[in-house]
Amino acid sequence: NIKIVTDPITNTTQKVYSVFYPKNSYSPQKSPQAGGVEFFAQPFAGQNFDRVLLSYEVGFPSNFPWQKGGKLPGIFGGDPKEGCTGGEPSNGDKCFSARLMWRELGVGEVYAYIPNDKDLCSNPRATCREKYGVSLGQGVSLNLGTWNQLQLYVQLNAPGKSNGVLRLYVNGEEWLDMPNVLFRNTGAIAIDDILFSTFFGGGDASYATP
């Protein structure tokens, strides 16, 4: 479902990744046909960090069907076998993730599996859920037929203290600046991976591609 092609959005000679979402596909773990792609990239040569700025561009064709939503790549820390994706929540002891996501009509957000502490869930720019990830900064518009520059900054908290930072920049403009975030309860968790994750979903067929 992923290949390298010549830029189809602005018709330059630059090489880009192209991701295919087959018909009736959604969450890779649940749909009969796997759509999109998900893997853990390790560009840090075995090192880990307490702060990372992830920057990339994503282009949606002019006829892209937003449906109910889908995932985009982000940052991961800890042990991938412990969850922090796919409806397996984070308690701050094993892992965390912070990806980007589109919703209906191309509305963007940060979608994070981090502990649902009371300070986070009382923030008007956060929507906490008991099982799935928390939506942060929902409301930015992603555009069709052009490249959208996305920059996600994560600065981990001191273990057990809600003093982490999460920021999102879209096309060079700061959209979200969220301080006092709890990503982890232990110093054993650091930023290890890029979670290259993009698919339609959501965990049920109502998110499926048309």
The answer to the question of residue 26 being in a domain is: no
The answer to the question of residue 24 being in a domain is: no
The answer to the question of residue 47 being in a domain is: yes
The answer to the question of residue 46 being in a domain is: yes
The answer to the question of residue 152 being in a domain is: yes
Q: What is the pLDDT of residues 76-98, one digit of tens each?
A: 999 999 999 998 999 999 999 99
199 within 8 A of 26, measured Cβ to Cβ: yes
CATH of the domain at 138: 2.60.120.200
Domain count, the chain: 1
The answer to the question of residue 140 being in a domain is: yes
CA–CA separation, 31 and 34 (whole Å): 6
pTM value?
Answer: 0.94
CA–CA separation, 49 and 25 (whole Å): 34
The answer to the question of residue 118 being in a domain is: yes
Q: What is the pLDDT of residues 137-190, one digit of tens each?
A: 999 999 999 999 999 999 999 998 999 999 999 999 999 999 999 999 999 999
DSSP state of 82: G
- Asked if the model's pLDDT at residue 27 lies above 90, the reply is no
CA–CA separation, 80 and 189 (whole Å): 11
- Asked if the model's pLDDT at residue 130 lies above 90, the reply is no
CA–CA separation, 157 and 172 (whole Å): 25
The answer to the question of residue 16 being in a domain is: no
What domain range includes position 129?
38-207
Q: What is the pLDDT of residue 85?
A: 94
